[in-house]
Amino acid sequence: MRSAMFSISHHISKQDQIHQMEREFIKHSMDRLSLPNITDETGPALLRMFRGLKLSPSSDAEEKEVWKLDQESMSVQMPDHFERYMCDVALIFSSEDNKSSAIRPRTDWILVATTAIVRKKKDQLYPDASQPSHQIYDALYYHFNTIIPAGSEPSMVYSVDYVLWYGARGDWDTNLVVVRSSSLLDGECWAAFPSMSVVHAARKAKKYTGGVYAICTDSYTWTFLHLRDKGRVSKRCLSWDDNIEDVIGQLYKIIGQAFDLHMEREKDPEAQQRMRDESLHGWGGDKSSNDDGRDDSDEDAGPW
């Protein structure tokens, strides 16, 4: 099952793959953008936006490199309480009709548990690193149900369920955005593709390097996307039941990369100052504003 899901995109031509990416970008932009209304001009405007990003599919060799897992990532052992919690969720939402209600607690728990494992491992590798404190910017942190600006217009923002930040949001210091499906998926999902593309473009404008990952999941099916510096897009779709080790391995690798990037930011005094400014004054460090760069209508938004 895994190999079929992995290789399906390469049964079609590169041009057909680009057309598929265009369709997915427009479709999910309309779903995730806070647009006041959809007009006849919306689709063409989004198409121009996509083409301006100059994205293209990765080669087979590039995909193999992106999704390759080292021995450490493949040998992650989840703690006993992880499986107990998953069993409790399955017990509460046991019927097929209630299965979609388990999406949020399962997704939250999988991300929390994997991030905790990475943190404990990295703390061993960086024993001299600063210890966690009241400052949320001392370590990796997630923001829930937040927004990503996609343009100068206030309505041009993408809603996402999780963003993993390793530094200042004004610096676009993230390598992962996650969209949690509200319903069960019947296959791959590109819902996180537009927001990932916007993050890539913003980082490129600042001349930052380093790929960006995106995930769309219902906690049972996991679609991983990756966007390289040069705009090459890779995809891998995995089933939790059939490929649990691979799902956890990919998460471990991505979150581990974010932690290493955070440690690099720790060495940059200017980046540290921007992170401190954001902790006091919000996204961008605007001292005249108390805006924290998130959707105030959502009480769940906040760091882990």
* 239 compared with 32, residue with greater pLDDT: 239
* 207 compared with 279, residue with greater pLDDT: 207
Q: Are 159 and 180 in contact (CB under 8 A)?
A: no
Quote the percentage of the chain above a pLDDT of 70: 82
pTM for this predicted structure = 0.85
Whether 141 is covered by a domain: the verdict is yes
Which range scores top for mean pLDDT: 78-82, 259-263, 289-293?
A: 78-82
Whether 68 is covered by a domain: the verdict is yes
Domain around 195: 60-90+98-278
Which range scores top for mean pLDDT: 63-67, 122-126, 260-264, 294-298?
A: 63-67
Quote the number of domains for the chain: 1
Whether 301 is covered by a domain: the verdict is no
Whether 6 is covered by a domain: the verdict is no
Distances (CA, A) of 47 to 181, 218, 286: 24, 27, 33
CATH number at residue 75: 3.90.1570
Q: Which residue has the tokens 């031509």?
A: 13
pLDDT computed for residue 123 by the predictor = 77
Q: Are 114 and 254 in contact (CB under 8 A)?
A: no
CA angle 53, 219, 121 (to 5 degrees): 85
Whether 35 is covered by a domain: the verdict is no
Whether 134 is covered by a domain: the verdict is yes
Distances (CA, A) of 137 to 213, 242, 273: 21, 36, 11
Whether 27 is covered by a domain: the verdict is no
With 60 as the cut, is the pLDDT of residue 31 above it? yes
Of 293, 270, 269, 271, the closest CA to residue 281 belongs to 293
Whether 298 is covered by a domain: the verdict is no
Mean pLDDT of the chain: 84
Q: For 115-173, how does the pLDDT look when each residue is reduced to its tens digit (9 = 90+)?
A: 999 999 887 776 665 554 334 345 678 888 888 888 666 667 889 999 999 998 889 99
